[in-house]
Amino acid sequence: MTEIRDIEVVVFDVLGTLVDEPDGIAAAIREALPEAEPIAVDELVALWQRHVEDEQARIARGEREYANTEVIDAEAAWAVAERAGIDDPADIARLATAGQRLAPWEDSVAGIERLSWHFPTIGLSNASRAALLRLNAFAGLRFHQALSTEWAGAYKPAPEVYRLALDAAACEPERVLMVAAHAWDLRGAQAVGMRTAYIGRSVGDPPKDTDTFDGHFDGLAALTAAIVPQ
């Protein structure tokens, strides 16, 4: 069994790692379009995700001023509404908040609770401050501290984002473990000296053969067993 020792603080990605983001967006689209076929919903989810990824990439390249996820999600909702023919402003406004109503994976709530008995835990998310507050409440995620990348005015994997967590942890980077289902996220954490643990999720970004993370786990129970002193 993989063991990761000498950890003081555990930092979690939220979107995709602890909550099922695509399914939550799909649920909001089905709410607005109850008669939509599954394939149509899948296409609209893909449209939403492309918009978010493209706009965050534009911000990273300096082609757009920083805008938080509430702004970008509202744009994505309007794009979906235009494609699907949704014209009720109330329905579009409700759709824009889909990212605040994402269900946790089955091991997320209990896993965070178990780890929180042994380590300070931090949620580090691209979600805006207000969206992260509501998402954590909806999903039942209970960190000791929740940090939005909005405080850094950037999105992961910008190094200043991970430094938010390091500043909060107030210990050496090699004693802080970043946990994520996205290999690109873990590479960003590695770049500032953090330890890394990959959690396999169906919606994540799997590691490449060249990645050298401290551990690969199929869930939070396995992660807990690897880092909690016996």
Q: Could you report the per-residue pLDDT of 16-70, keeping only the tens digit for each? A: 999 999 999 999 999 999 999 999 999 999 999 999 999 999 999 999 999 999 9
Beta strands in 76-150 (DSSP E): 121-125, 145-148
Q: Which residues pair with 15 in a beta bridge?
A: 19
- Domains annotated on the chain, with CATH: 9-20+102-227 (3.40.50.1000), 21-100 (1.10.150)
Question: Which helix (H) or strand (E) is 137 found in, with range?
Answer: helix 129-139
Q: What pTM, to 2 d.p., does this model score?
A: 0.96
Q: Can you give the pLDDT at residue 229?
A: 82
Distance CA 127, CA 17 (A): 13
- Tens of pLDDT, residue by residue over 199-227, are 999 999 999 999 999 999 999 999 999 99
CA 61 from centroid of its chain's CA atoms: 21
Q: How confident is the model at residue 5 (pLDDT cuts 50, 70, 90)?
A: very high
3-state per-residue secondary structure call for 24-85: HHHHHHHHHCCCCCHHHHHHHHHHHHHHHHHHHHHHHCCCCCCCCHHHHHHHHHHHHHHHHC
Q: What are the pLDDT digits (tens) for 149-189?
A: 999 999 999 999 999 999 999 999 999 999 999 999 999 99
- What is the predicted pLDDT for the residue at 230? 74
Band (138; pLDDT cuts 50, 70, 90):
very high
How big is the CA angle at 203 (ends 4 and 166), to the nearest 5 degrees? 40
Banded pLDDT at 1 (limits 50, 70, 90): low
